[in-house]
Amino acid sequence: MATRSQRKQLAVAAILALMAALLAACGGSSSAKPTLNWYINPDTGGQDAVAKKCSTDQYTIATQVLPTDATQQRIQLARRLAASDSSIDLMSIDPPYTAEFANAGYLAPIADRFAAKLKSQSFKSAIAAATWKGKLVVAPFWSNTQVLWYRKSFVDKAGIDMSKPVTWDQLIKVASQNGGTVAVQANRYEGYVVWINALVSGAGGSLVQDAAKGVDAKITINSPAGEDAAKVIEELAGSSAKPADLSVSTEGTASTTFGSSKGAFMVNWTFIWHNYDETDPAVAKDIGYAMYPETVAGEQARPPYGGIGIGVSSFSNHIDLATKAMECITSPDNQGINAELTGNMPASAAGYDYPPLKKLYPPDLLALFQKSLQVAAPRSVTPYWGDISSAILSTWHSPTSVNDQTPQESATFIEQVLKGDALL
């Protein structure tokens, strides 16, 4: 049996042990390194690599993968943000939805110092797509553009000079006369609106003006530029250069058409350069590239703009740390790392200086990508883009139905949808 002195010593030891445990627990909660959750679009490992590189002694960045479809990405993020979900710290946001998230108050402000740095380093089109009501609301991370890809063997046979600007009309006629196809994206999805926007912009027009006025924005798709765009789609849809799957064509199916025996021309994103390296090396060696086709001869083509901007959630419990992480993620070197692993090109000219990119792409192709980004046409920056895009798809799809009345019909329908006089 323990003596009175021994019992006292045991009691003291127990109290000390309990205090030590409590102190350890308290210390653990206050000093634990937070994890920043970065919701990303699916890719081939670029954002994971950047997350690992940008994790520090202060925080760890963990990635959460969103659905492949951009519309579904928007829905998943919007649902969480509408519920003030604090588990989102960083987001990879598709440009069409930037204004919607900013207008709803879902994005933490970007400090003037960092905004100035981003404006200095980023392409003009990237800044335009990241700005809402005069403020930069997301940090441009990667910027994509489309170029005209062609089969060198086909243009040699057809005798068309690809060193000079070409028009859609030329491509469709040459492909039709020589048994080739012109591959595009015309499924009932966002990619089709991307093409329509590029065609309208290439004719000097726009889909929307005064987007900041919301539902009172001016719908401008019913214009000579809209008619020029409709003419291109109608011409392709009625020609023998039309791919068999035109009305359901996507980036992936277009690449399949281009790689087939009838492949001639295709507009598509930058990933195409390495798309056939392993699956069809003969096609890979046969790829040529040029500036996006002109809608109107002699007028500057306006290639599509795509990409990702990084936003910090205003509901995050770690806004300061997430902002530091955003600065790291969007640095030119990390834009380069992402481009090396995914083919999604940097949002800044400095990002193109990342040495591995110069081994992966020919110098003139890197120059073409950057030139395209300088003149690219972002889609209208408006919080109502989802409604506008869906209304366009309702009136311009299928491409075989497009005619000279389509711009007027779509303008009327868009205005009705925005005013609440029609349902999508």
Domains within the chain, CATH numbers bracketed: 35-144+306-375 (3.40.190.10), 147-302+383-419 (3.40.190.10)
d(C-alpha 147, C-alpha 269), whole Å: 7
pLDDT of residue 21: 44
CA 180 to chain centre: 30
Distance, in Å, from the CA atom of 230 to the CA atom of 406, rounded to the nearest integer, reads 7
Say whether 283 sits in a helix, a strand or coil.
helix
pLDDT in tens, the chain (424 residues): 444 545 555 554 454 444 444 444 444 444 689 999 999 999 999 999 999 999 999 999 999 999 988 888 999 999 999 999 999 999 999 998 999 999 999 999 999 999 999 999 999 999 999 999 999 999 999 999 999 999 999 999 999 999 999 999 999 999 999 999 999 999 999 999 999 999 999 999 999 999 888 899 999 999 999 999 999 999 999 999 999 999 999 999 999 999 999 999 999 999 999 999 999 999 999 999 999 999 999 999 999 999 999 999 999 999 999 999 999 999 999 999 999 999 999 999 999 999 999 999 999 999 999 999 999 999 988 999 989 999 999 999 999 999 999 999 999 999 999 999 998 8
Cα-based distances in Å from 113 to 106, 116, 320: 21, 5, 14
Q: Which two tokens stand for residue 285?
A: 């060696």
310 backbone dihedrals φ, ψ, rounded to 5°? -95, 125
> What's the token pair of residue 123?
């392409």
DSSP letters for 359-407: HHS-HHHHHHHHHHHHH-BPPP--TTHHHHHHHHHHHH-SGGG--TTHH
> What pLDDT is recorded for position 61?
98
Beta strand 90-93 with 35-40 is: parallel
What's at 289, amino acid-wise?
Answer: Y
pLDDT of residue 268: 98
pLDDT of residue 424: 83
Q: Are 138 and 309 in contact (CB under 8 A)?
A: yes
Cis ω before 398 (30° cut-off from 0): yes
Measuring CA to CA, which residue among 206, 204, 202, 205 is closest to residue 169? 202
How far is 50 from 301, CA to CA, in rounded Å? Answer: 33
pLDDT at 290: 98
Distance CA 47, CA 194 (A): 24
Q: Which helix (H) or strand (E) holds 48?
A: helix 46-54
Q: Which residues lie across from 148 on neighbouring strands?
A: 267, 290
Residue owning tokens 């020029």: 228
Q: What is the DSSP letter of 422?
A: S
pLDDT of residue 7: 53
CA torsion angle 397 403 407 409 (round to 10):
-70
| pLDDT given at position 6 | 52
**What pLDDT, on a 0 to 100 scale, did the predictor assign at position 29?**
44
- Closest by CA to 275, choosing from 285, 265, 263, 290, is 285
Q: What is the pLDDT of residue 24?
A: 42
Q: Which of 360, 175, 382 is nearest to 267 (CA)?
A: 175
The full 3-state SS of 148-201, as one line of letters, equals EEEEHHHHHHHCCCCCCCCEHHHHHHHHHHCCCEEECCCCCCHHHHHHHHHHHH
The dihedral built from the CA positions of residue 108, 114, 120 and 122, taken in this order, carries a sign that is negative
In sequence order, the 6+-apart residues with CB closer than 8 A to the CB of 32 are none
Angle of the 385-396 helix axis to the 190-202 helix axis, nearest 10:
90
CA distance 10 to 211: 75
**Bond prior to 348 in cis (omega within 30° of 0):** no
| Dist CA 313 CA 318 (whole Å) | 9
Contact 365, 291 (CB under 8 A): no
> Whose CA is closest to 378, among 304, 322, 316, 325?
304
Residue 45: other Cβ atoms inside 10 A: 12
The predicted structure's pLDDT at residue 11? 52
Contact status, residue 262 vs residue 240, Cβ threshold 8 Å: no
Amino acid at 194: V
Residues 292, 295, 301, 302, CA torsion sign? negative
Burial of 359 from C-beta contacts in 10 A (0-12 / 13-18 / 19+): exposed
Give one DSSP letter per residue of 259-272, joined into a string: HSTTEEEEEE-GGG
